[in-house]
Amino acid sequence: MPGEARKTVGADKAYDTESFVEGCRNINVTPHVAQNTSGRSSRIDGRTTRHTGYRISQFARKLIETVFGDAKQHGILRQVKLRGLAKVELLFTLAATVVNLRRLPKLLAPEPSG
């Protein structure tokens, strides 16, 4: 529709399939899917990758995935042994706090003067 921003959806490379990408395009949604080029050609073509929004989306996705990867590798999220939404929410909050505390010294370090 005129005046409306185009919708996007982000996903990992497992969604780089013809059915998912074409399904998104059929409903006017731009698939910001990581390209899966291992052993085949990606279904994400230049219509998507040429835009700055795709690069920004992939950069943001990498930052977010890094946080979750750290929480899984160094934290306690690899295999949750708790049951119940409230307990899992508390565990996730604790893991996110640990990740942020690990990042804090780098974020607070003064920028080197030129």
- The predicted-structure confidence for 10-62, as pLDDT tens digits, reads as follows 888 888 999 999 999 899 898 988 888 787 788 888 888 888 888 898 888 88
The CA-atom distances, in angstroms, between 28 and each of 7, 11, 12, 45 are 7, 16, 19, 16
| pLDDT level of residue 86 (50, 70, 90 thresholds) | very high
Structural domain including 44 reads 1-63
Per-residue pLDDT at 89: 92
Compute the half-sphere exposure of residue 60: CA atoms within 13 Å on the CB side of its CA. Answer: 11
Asked whether residue 58 falls in the same domain as residue 80, the answer is no
Residue 9 in any domain: the answer is: yes
Residues 59 and 79 in one domain: no
At 8, phi and psi to the nearest 5? -130, 160
Q: How many CB atoms lie within 10 A of CB 71?
A: 19
Read off the pTM: 0.61
CB 95 within 8 Å of CB 77: yes
DSSP structure string for 66-91: HHHHHHHHHSS-SS----SHHHHHHH
> Domain for residue 69, yes or no?
no
